[in-house]
Amino acid sequence: MDSKISKIGVFTSGGDAPGMNAALRAVVRASIFYKKEVHGIMQGYEGMISGDIVKLGARSVGNIIQRGGTILKSARSKEFRTPEGRAKAYQNLKKHGIDALVAIGGDGTFTGLHKLYEEYAIPSICMPGTIDNDLTGTDFTIGFDTATNTAVEAIDKIRDTAISHNRLFFIEVMGRNSGYIAINSGIAGGAVATIIPEESMSLDDLFAKLDEGGKTNKKSSLVVVAEGSKLGGAMELAKKFSERNNYFDIKVTILGHLQRGGSPTYFDRVLASKMGVAAVEGLLAGEKDCMVGILNNKVVYNSFADIIDKHHEIDSESLRIAKILSI
């Protein structure tokens, strides 16, 4: 273990994700287990710049493993993108004696931490916290499982009213430019079609599939749309379909930020806990400028240089299964 590290700073950054508190709890308690001080940095990089930093103890993170959001708060910082902003952040870290960092966030968080390491050589490890599951180097990101379960629960309820009223629902889920939530909730929710950024389904293909359902007296249909779809969002697709077909009563539901909140699933709690311990142990073992991930149920450390700006591709098997089951 690296005896040079005495104080670890931990923060959450970017979009919140269920399980961030569980990850924070794991970092704090693992740090204390290894007899290291740990400090929480409020509001992500903004708190690093303003000096909003507090010492944390084992009891500071009690009763948070089941809570959504992040008790450290989160923010996106324009100032940190400048050399002057990062200089302020570094001075505040020095002032508090922090000599290593653990961040919980997504690709924007990675980029900021990588830049700080390049300029000031502070050992740092990031944990992948994003509902999008779009980061390479890990099978799952913290928050993805909870967000997908939330989407599936909503889809199940929407199906009840769709069946009752002979309706076609376009349901938009989050994920930015990643279709992971869409494809998995589409399979689990029995969608007739799933529109994702990674697949090039045409409008004609979608219309043909929906028209086929109408011709065979299909009483309801659900189309799951990823918010980053190249064909357009749920509102736009519903408008285009209504202009050429009046068989279904067409409705739209945009789940939005509903998917970010709520108590994390057991899977996200365990994933976050494993990654939190691995982040601390990695730092103390000399790992730095990297992201901790779990591949095939094993902890791995991915260099930022190898993963930044790379996309976690959806496996072709999920796409194949979705098509087979959507008839």
Contacts of 23 (CB under 8 A, 6+ apart): 104, 127, 129, 142, 272, 273, 275, 276
- The DSSP annotation for 126-162 comes to EEEB-TT--BTTSS--BTHHHHHHHHHHHHHHHHHHH
Sheet with 298-303: list strands edge to edge: 53-56, 37-41, 7-12, 100-105, 124-128, 290-295, 298-303
- Asked about 132 being catalytic, the answer comes back as yes
The active-site residue, picked from 132, 134, 268, 289, is 132
Pair of tokens at residue 78:
């324009």
Give the Cα separation of 225 and 234 in Å (integer): 6
Active site residues: 132
